[in-house]
Amino acid sequence: MLKAVAFDMDDTLLSINLSAFIAVFLRDEARLLADISRKNPLSAFAGLVGVLRDLSSNVRDADDARTNRAFFDEEIERRMGIPLTDPVIADAFEFFEREVLPHCNDPVIGARPRAGAHQAVELLLERGMRIALLTNPSFSRSCIECRMAWGDMLDMPFELVTCMENSTRCKPSPRYYLEAIGALGLEPEEVLMVGNDPKRDFPVPDCGIQTAYVGIGSPDRALWSGSMEAFAAQFGLIEERFNERHERGFSKLAQDVSRARNPFQN
């Protein structure tokens, strides 16, 4: 039965122009890399983008158990010759992400709490649900906490916040989801994932985690689809459907959902 709810962050609990944020982040971190290595900024930008692309695409051997942080650091050093683990260099990036990046939330990025997000979290806590923040761990903890602050989430009692430092894969790898759920001491069938990205917030291949979808459209795999405000208002119905799926068997219900729309969808 349902014991915990895991939330995605960007455009789930946090309204944000994510493309604009990533553009600013990459530009400024590439400048740091270029200054440190005395390389052309365009070359540093290309190198950074290449490493992050491979990280996000899970271009790893199956037996590679390195954290995303270790993978990122080692690939930057291998490709660009910059030892990010050097204390002086590490401090420079930490300073940027802790002290400079938080001031980059301009009108274009427009980061703010998503309507209904705080109500949803408060409701779950009142109902005794455990909560976690399963944001894609292609960023450091410092960078993730920057965006959490923009969404007024730093005081939310998440039992786990995934990030580069505590994850070995990125979404939608089932290994990422199973490692996070395992860290909570739970089984996949006890957790509801809430997210807005049909390509990342549903594990591929499926590993038994049900997902409530708060993005555009209504994916067939979704337990429920609607806005975050509707999620808060209809959580009782969502929990009932979650437990119904659990009782009937997730694999059978996946076939049912492909043949009929969710009766609770908005």
Domain 4-16+112-259 indexed as CATH 3.40.50.1000: yes
Question: Which residue matches tokens 């890399």?
Answer: 33
Residue 246 has pLDDT above 90, yes or no: no
5-23 confidence digits (pLDDT tens): 999 999 999 999 999 999 9
Mean pLDDT over all residues of the chain?
A: 92
Q: Can you tell me the mean pLDDT for 93-104? A: 96
**pLDDT classification of 39: cutoffs 50, 70, 90:** confident
Domain ranges of the chain: 4-16+112-259, 18-104
- Which DSSP string do the residues of 155-200 spell out, in sequence order? TS--S-B--GGG-SS-TT-HHHHHHHHHHTT--GGGEEEEES-TTT
DSSP at 154: T
State the Cα–Cα distance between residues 265 and 222, nearest whole angstrom: 10
**Range of lowest pLDDT (93-97, 169-173, 202-206, 251-255):** 251-255
143-198 confidence digits (pLDDT tens): 999 999 999 999 999 999 999 999 999 999 999 999 999 999 999 999 999 999 99
Tokens of residue 217, six digits: 């459209």
Q: What's this model's pTM, rounded to 2 decimal places?
A: 0.90
